[in-house]
Amino acid sequence: MGMITVTSISGVGTIDLTTLVYTLLALPTIAAAISILPNPRAREVASLISSATCLALSIALFHSVLTCTLQSGWIYVDLPAAVIVFLIQAIYFLSVLYSIYFVNEIWKERPLFLRRRHYYALINLFAMSMTFAAVSRNLGLMWVGLEATTIVSALLIVLERSKASVEAAWRYIIVASAGLGVALLSLVMFHAFSGTVDWTRAEMSAKAATLVAVLALVGFGTKVGIFPMHTWLPDAHGTAPPAVSAMLSATLLPVALLAYLRVFEVAVAAGALKVVYITCFAGAVTALVAAILAVPQRIVKRLFAYSSMDVMGIAMTGVGLSAISPVALKATLLLLIIHAFSKSALFFTGGNVITGLKTHEIEDVKALLSRTKLTGLSMLLSALAVTGAPPFASFIAELVIVAVSLSVPYLTALLLSAILLSFLAVNYHVTRMCFGGKGESVSLSALSELVPALACLTSLAISLVVWIALAGGVLP
C-alpha cells in the first residue's frame, strides 16, 4: 500500500516520530494522575500543559506525515490519522481552557456526581483514549480505544447528576456498547477471512469483505451517529458539559469514522463495490434525517447535536465516494477540520447561554448579540461554518463531495436536500437567538467568551488559507 517508515522530523531536530506518538499518549495519562491530587491548581496547570504540548506535537506530526506515512510496530499514522490526531489535541486544549471557567461556575451552584479532580482526570483520559484509537494500525486496538472512550465519556455525561443526564448516559452506554459489540463481531470475521486484524496487510474475497464492511458500518457507525443507530447522540450531547460535548462531537465521532474508513478501504481493495453504495446512501440518509430532526428543536445543545449528526452523515458519504475519486476523502477531512473548530465553538457558546441566561431553551434566548456580543458573534459565525456557508472552507468541502456524487443522481438529490434543510434549520434557530427581542446585558468571564471566539477564528483562518491555496493552485 505504499507505506513508508518515518523516523524523524526534519527542521525540528532529531525527533523520533514513534517517541512523539508515545508522548502524545503519555502526557494526558500523567496529567490525569496529577489531577487526582488534592491541589486544585495542579490539576488545571497539568491539564493545560499536557493539552498545549500535545497540540504542538500533533502539528509537528501532521507536518511530517504530509510527505510520508509513519508505520512503526502497532502505530500507523497516515494523512487521515494525522488530521484526526491534530483535531483531538486542538479540541482537548480548547476544552481544558473552557473547563476552567465552566466547571468552577457550576460547582458553585450545586453538588455534582464527580469531584473536580475526577472531572479533569477523565478529560485527560478521554483525549488519550481517542489518540490511542486514531494511531493504531491494529483494528482490535482501535476497538479497545473506542470502548475506553465509552466508559470515560459516559462518566462525564452524567456530571450534573440530573435525571436527564443519567438517562442519557445509560442510553449512551447501552447503544454504544451494542454497536461496538457488532463492531467486534465484524473484526472477528475480519480476522477469520484475512488471518489478521492489521488492516494494512489484510486481503479477502469481495463477498467476505462486503459482509465485514456492512457489520463494521453498523458497529462503528453507531459511534459515528449514523441513522438509525443515532439515538444516543442528541441526548448525550444535549446533557453533557459543553467541553465534553465539544470533544464528543468534534473528535470522538471522527475517530469512529476513521475506524470504519480502515475497514472500508480493505473492502474497496477487495472489489466489494456494493459497500461503496451502501456507505454513500447510509451517510446521505443520516444527513437528511438529522436536518429534518433539527427543524423542530427547542433545546440549544440538542440542535447542535443534530447538526453534528448531519455533518457526520455528509462525511460518511465522502468516505464512500472516496472509492470513486480520492479528492472526496480530502474534502471529507477538510469538512471534519472546519466542523471540529466551529462545532466546539457552538457548544462553548451554548455553555455560556446555560450559565449566563440560566436556560437550555431556544425560545428563552433573545438578542444574544446585544446582550453579550462576543458570544453572539461566535455563535452566529460558527453556525454558518458548520452549515457550509462561504467563506468557510466547509462550503468547498461540501461542494466537492456533491460534485463527486453527480454520477449517482439519487445520492446527489439526498445530499443537496440535507445540506439545504440543515442550513435553513440551524441558521434559523441561531438567528432567532442572536437577534430580535430584548434582554438585560449578560455578564460572562473573559475566558468563557474568548475560548469559543478562538475556536471560531481558527475555523475562519484555516478557511482563508484553503481559499488562498486554491487560488494559487497549491491544492488539487
Residue 11: the pLDDT is 39
Between CA 155 and CA 357 the distance in angstroms is: 26
The sign of the dihedral angle between the CA atoms of 238, 52, 458, 103 is: positive
Q: Which of 435, 459, 290, 287 is nearest to 382 (CA)?
A: 459
* Other beta carbons within 10 Å of 473: 7
Which ranges constitute the DSSP H helices of 270-326?
A: 273-294, 300-321
Neighbouring CB atoms inside 10 A of 73's CB total 9
Q: Who contacts 57 (Cβ-Cβ below 8 Å, separation ≥6)? A: 20, 23, 24, 89
| Calpha distance 344→244 (Å, rounded) | 9
How much is the pLDDT for 388?
Answer: 93
What is the per-residue pLDDT for 326?
Answer: 92
- 3 state DSSP class of 198: strand
Q: Tell me which amino acid residue 64 is.
A: S
Q: What's the rounded Cα separation, in Å, for the pair 397 and 240?
A: 29
Residue 10 confidence (pLDDT): 40
Per-residue pLDDT of the chain (476 residues; tens, 9 = 90+): 334 344 444 434 335 888 999 999 999 999 999 988 888 788 889 999 999 999 999 999 999 898 888 888 899 999 999 999 999 999 999 999 999 888 777 665 555 556 777 889 999 999 999 999 999 999 999 999 999 999 998 888 877 666 777 788 888 889 999 999 999 999 999 999 999 999 999 999 999 999 999 999 999 999 999 998 888 888 888 788 889 999 999 999 999 999 999 999 999 999 998 999 999 999 999 999 999 999 999 999 899 999 999 999 999 999 999 999 999 999 999 999 999 999 999 999 998 888 888 888 888 888 888 888 899 999 999 999 999 999 999 999 999 999 999 989 999 999 999 999 999 999 999 999 998 777 777 778 888 899 999 999 999 999 999 999 888 776 65
Which candidate, 259, 131, 271, places its Cα nearest to that of 197? 259
Cα→Cα distances 226→165, 317, 356, 369, 387, Å? 22, 11, 33, 34, 18
Number of Cβ within a 10 Å radius of residue 202: 23
Domain residue ranges of the chain, discontinuous segments joined by +: 291-476
Looking at residue 7, what is its pLDDT?
43
Q: Which of 418, 450, 449, 197 is nearest to 311 (CA)?
A: 418
Rounded Cα distance, 58 and 264, in Å:
25
Query: E strand or H helix at 72, and its extent?
Result: strand 70-72
User: Distance between CA atoms of 38 and 18, rounded to whole angstroms?
Assistant: 33
Distance between CA 421 and CA 231 in Å, rounded? 20
Q: What pLDDT sits at residue 359?
A: 81
DSSP annotation of 440 reads P
Strand-strand pairing, 75-77 and 70-72: antiparallel
3-state secondary structure of 471: helix
Neighbour-count burial of 417, counting CB atoms closer than 10 A to its CB (0-12 exposed, 13-18 middle, 19+ buried): middle
CA–chain centroid gap for 458, Å, is 16
> Residue 103 is inside which H or E element, if any?
helix 79-107
Rounded distance, CA 86 to CA 24, Å? 11
User: What does the alpha-carbon distance between residue 232 and residue 222 come to, in Å, rounded to a whole number?
Assistant: 9
